[in-house]
Amino acid sequence: MPEGSASAMLDQNSMDSQTSNNNSGIEPKRFGSIDYVKITILGFGLTALWSSLHSIILPLRLLDFVPEALKNSYLGYLTFTGLVMAMLVQPIVGAISDRSGFARGRRRPFVLIGISVALLFLPGIGLWASYAAILTFYCLLQISCNTAQGPYQGLIPDLVPGDKRGRASGVKSLLELLGGITFIQLIAYFMGNYSADVGSHWLWLALGTLGIVLLGTMLTILLTVKERPGTGGSHPPLLASLFRSFQIDVKQNRSFVWFMVSRGLMGIPGVILQTFALYYLMDVIGVDNPAAVTANLMIVVGVSLIAVVYFAGRFSDRIGRKPIIIGSGLLGALGIVALFFSQSYVHIMLSGVVLGIANGGLLSSSWALATDLVAEGEEAKYLGLANLSMAGGSAVARLIGPVIDFFNAVGPNLGYSVMLLTCFVCFIVGSLLILKIRGVR
């Protein structure tokens, strides 16, 4: 679609939003400020869970029973396998929710089922000191959480007027960031005192805290968000449904395909740094308390994200999504260069500020662009596919673990230099691919 048709597309988005809102029983003029929080609060709980697990709990938990020289590899394999589960589950369940006929709405029943089951699997992370057991429960946790997340993401296109989706995406990203940093210092304190021999109760305090947060956000969605009953409809055979869950008309949605590739690439650096930061700080910088310093770095990045993410979403409503995304990607590459030359605690934190600002712009503006590009009537499916691209990038990012260990064996900390180079390239290439998107500002 030519660039000159952007305004026409925005008008169509507005009409699509009006139709979607009417189907959901919510009038656009009645959509108030608190409603943005109600429909996105689950992101707070999910991000609190995954941020703490990936940055603090799992890296320290694996040190109980994996070889020191292969710790990056084992962590990479573990999180890669779990994210493959997420890639499969989220778009399938999202597509099923699009056609569901539950009396309580299309999305909330899946939130109830997914989070309830996740709360049953979460204790498995602490029950057995076995790599196979941790892998099993981690994968089950991914499946159950993504059973909730796929349909939950359909609430924005279901309920939010088209000209306010940038704001809604900003609130969604803001709550996710708050979830990622609000509890991480507490979790780091618990895990800093953890030891497999005499301090196992600290692990249970960490897992219990995350379970309470997840339960609270689930109840908020169930009790405060109102949907009309799902319309149901004809149901194709199971195999056809599975195939259609991943099917995209490339000719009609070429821009969405480019968006998915770009989103996947630019999501890789953040996942790499979040997952392997503790080991990087321990091996390269040589900090005494890697859990605490990792938590501080995550907080610095998160606060920087929060400072810009909401305004980036609203600003993208005015000037378009693409300039914000491209500028943020290039700034992220600059942050990686700064991190490479950092040799002290202060320099690490300053690099975190740059990376936080960059990712704040990426988070809200890219999600707003995703809601602009989804196909009408298949919103949850396409947003699930948008997250599939992010999950795919996240899965690839986890495979940098064995690469780090391989090059570390070649030269002292060489693997971590290769890790940062990978992050730099992903930011640059992902930014350039945004230029391939047509039909939006």
Structure confidence at residue 60 (pLDDT): 92
Question: What's the CATH number for 3-25+32-226+244-436?
Answer: 1.20.1250.20
Taking the CA atoms of 324, 329, 335 and 339 in sequence, report the sign of the dihedral they define.
positive
Q: Which amino acid is at 160?
A: V
What are the residues whose beta carbons fall under 8 Å from the beta carbon of 104, sequence distance 6 or more?
A: 227, 229
What is the C-alpha to C-alpha distance for residues 187 and 48, in angstroms, rounded to an integer? 10
Q: Which long-range contacts (CB under 8 A, 24 or more apart) does 409-415 make?
A: 409/69, 413/283, 413/284, 415/72
179 and 54 Cβ atoms separated by less than 8 Å: no
CA distance 221 to 34: 12
- Report DSSP letters for 154-204, one per residue: THHHHHS-GGGHHHHHHHHHHHHHHHHHHTHHHHHHHHHT--TTT-HHHHH
DSSP state letters, 257-282: HHHHHHHHHHHHHHHHHHHHHHHHII
Torsional sign, CA 128, 133, 138, 144:
negative
List the pLDDT tens digit at each of the 441 positions of the chain: 333 333 333 233 333 333 344 444 444 446 677 888 988 999 999 999 999 999 999 999 999 989 999 999 999 999 999 888 887 888 788 878 877 777 778 889 999 999 999 999 999 999 888 999 999 999 999 999 999 998 888 888 888 877 777 778 778 877 887 898 899 999 999 998 888 777 789 999 999 999 999 999 999 999 998 887 766 555 555 456 555 655 666 566 678 888 888 989 999 999 999 999 999 999 998 888 899 999 999 999 989 988 887 788 778 777 878 888 999 999 999 999 999 998 888 999 999 999 999 988 887 788 778 777 766 666 667 776 777 777 778 888 999 999 999 999 999 999 999 999 999 999 999 999 998 887 655
- Sole residue written with tokens 């810009």: 308
Q: 277 and 400 in contact (C-beta within 8 Å)?
A: no
User: What ranges do the domains of the chain cover?
Assistant: 3-25+32-226+244-436
CB burial readout 360-390, b (16+ within 10 A) else e: bbbbbbbbbbbbbbbeeebbbbbbbbbbbbb
pLDDT at 20: 40
- Per the document, the length of the chain is 441
Residue 376: per-residue pLDDT: 67
Give one DSSP letter per residue of 288-310, joined into a string: S-HHHHHHHHHHHHHHHHHHHHH
pLDDT of residue 402: 96
